[in-house]
Structure 1
Amino acid sequence: MSDLLTVVAVTGTAGLATGLGALPVFARARVTHRTYDAALGLAAGLMVAASVFGLVLPGMEEGTLATVMVGVLLGGVTLLVGNYAIPHLHAQYREWLPEGGATDDDAASMAATTPDASLGDPTASIDEQDSVLRKAVLIGGAITLHNAPEGLAIGVAFASGLEEVALLLAVVIGLQNVPDGFAFAVPMGETGMSNRRVLVYTTLSGLGPQVIAGVFGFTLVSIAAGLFPVAAGFAAGAMLAVVFRELIPSSHGHGHADAATGAFLVGFVLLVVVDETIVV
């Protein structure tokens, strides 16, 4: 069984890959809808395949079909409940959408951010500081909802002694984090936020939640032996819910559904190749 330090290192490395997705924003070039939608499609394909091959199938080998499926349903429902209950701003291409109790004013405030309205300005008034803090919390809510299931999956696999599966998930999640970070950084960059802040916040969006969730999953399964099947199903269900609740809808509706679908298939195939390379 791997130790906790290994879990932190692996989930941290996968999380850091999110920052790579922010690099195109440095050019401040206009990113087309086609590129944005294809990036989301690629991420969706990787996550669906990882959920099935990295979590559901190994979970069924360790436990029963019913146990894993109960976990899948619990994970999906938990993600949807969290999406409804936790106030957050969901980033789409060139716009912010309020969800879970966030308001239209929150979204309008984020979209109106200018380079002069830098986060953490010590000279800002109390009201401005409160507004900045609320923006950070609302963005953080969306980040945690989307990235925590991935870290949980890695931690659960490591705790169950499935190092090869855990490494497979880490590689796939790292690959998926690049377009995921890209999808998040584009609307942030277009609000006028500085390049440095876009890079920092995008990187932290994958690093923080994934490491914390990885440690939680590792600790939980280590303490309670036999939880891997339901925990693996839970992580898979939450990841699938993210795909169908966020990634697929966000990649359609701009006239580039074919590009997004093609990228989805590429992501799915890429997972199978990585699976065969690492596990076999």
Structure 2
Amino acid sequence: MVIESLFGSDPIVNGLVGGLFIATLNLIGASLVFVWRDPSERALDGTLGFAAGVMLAASFTSLIIPGIETYSGGDPIPTLVGVALGAVVLDRSDVLVPHAHYLLSGRRRPDAANPSDSLPVADERLAGVVLFVLAITIHNMPEGLAVGVGFGSGDLGTAIPLMLAIGIQNVPEGLAVSVAAINAGLDRRDYAVFTGIRAGVVEIPLAVLGAYAVGAVSALLPYAMGFAAGAMLFVISDEIVPETHARGHERVATAGTIAGVIVMLYLDIALG
């Protein structure tokens, strides 16, 4: 393995490398706004659909299935408990912080705290941008954790495809972050890219934390793998799919999702 030959076999070091890798690809995606200044809604929905497909396949092939078959001796309960916990934590986070697409449309999601409140208007735009960055940051957290947990398991055959998959899907996600930041009120491209950086940076410490936690307490591994998968599945179902199917581009988004699943499955087989 290239990572092992370059950085050794310490799971925490490899978790750090994995976090840096996915955060860098997030930045690359966010920086695309400099060369692709006005991507169409159709293109964004297709690319986000691709990101959803990659995350969907990775949740099962690199997290849920190994968590059950390899790290809990075939007992599905620890991993499935983790899946439920991951979904619950993301659900509670989304209740407190409105979805990014609700921020952009000018209203809070119906089940958010104080749903009757309107979003900040022009003279309170900074508050709206802060909420936007916080919402995106929350949605990046499971990705960093998943990569860290993958490397913390010590199984590079699982960790590397997972890292590559999340890194690949971070490119369209990073672009979407920059475009959404502009629409949320950031009128300069460099501020939009800063938002992309901010969204990606949270993945690095979480990758290290995930690798350390499962390395220190090996019994946590199936729970942690399930948690990361459940959180990603929640983001796919509750955030990405509704967003990509809201503007009449369902077929493009679905084609992107299928392409993402195919890419992830290929990576898993080729590198696993």
Q: Is the 8 A contact 1:90 1:96 kept in 2?
A: no
Structure 2 vs 1, CA of residues 192 and 237 (structure 1 numbering), >3 Å: closer, same or farther?
A: closer
Of stretches 258-267 and 225-234 in structure 1, the one that deviates more from structure 2 is 225-234
Give the partner amino acid of 1:201: T
CA distance in 2, matches of 1:28, 1:160: 38
Answer yes or no: is 1:252 the counterpart of 2:264.
Answer: no
Pairs within 5 Å for 1:99-138: 99=109, 100-101=112-113, 103-106=117-120, 108-109=121-122, 132=126, 134-135=127-128, 137-138=130-131
Of stretches 89-98 and 213-222 in structure 1, the one that deviates more from structure 2 is 89-98
Tell me the equivalent position of 2:18. 10
CA distance in 1, matches of 2:165, 2:45: 19
TM-score (norm: length of structure 2) = 0.86
- Aligned-residue RMSD, C-alpha: 2.2
CA distance in 2, matches of 1:6, 1:71: 23
Answer yes or no: is 1:199 the counterpart of 2:210.
Answer: no
Structure 2 vs 1, CA of residues 215 and 24 (structure 1 numbering), >3 Å: closer, same or farther?
A: closer
Give the partner amino acid of 1:185: S
Give the partner amino acid of 1:218: A
CA distance in 1, matches of 2:22, 2:50: 16
Answer yes or no: is 1:175 the counterpart of 2:168.
Answer: yes
Tell me the equivalent position of 1:122. none
Tell me the equivalent position of 2:100. 90
Q: Is the 8 A contact 1:49 1:271 kept in 2?
A: yes
Q: Is the 8 A contact 1:7 1:214 kept in 2?
A: yes
Tell me the equivalent position of 1:116. none
State the Cα distance separating 1:181 from its structure 2 match: 1.0
Give the partner amino acid of 1:105: L
Give the partner amino acid of 2:267: V
Answer yes or no: is 1:77 the counterpart of 2:85.
Answer: no
Percentage of pairs with the same residue:
31
Structure 2 vs 1, CA of residues 96 and 224 (structure 1 numbering), >3 Å: closer, same or farther?
A: farther
Give the partner amino acid of 1:195: R
Structure 2 vs 1, CA of residues 230 and 253 (structure 1 numbering), >3 Å: closer, same or farther?
A: same
Answer yes or no: is 1:57 the counterpart of 2:69.
Answer: no
Gaps of at least 5 residues in structure 2 are 1-8
State the Cα distance separating 1:51 from its structure 2 match: 0.2
Instruction: Give the match's secondary structure for 1:105.
Output: coil
Instruction: Give the match's secondary structure for 1:226.
Output: helix
Give the partner amino acid of 1:2: D
Pairs within 5 Å for 1:262-273: 262-273=255-266
Equivalences, count = 256
State the Cα distance separating 1:193 from its structure 2 match: 2.3
Tell me the equivalent position of 1:151. 144
Give the partner amino acid of 1:252: H
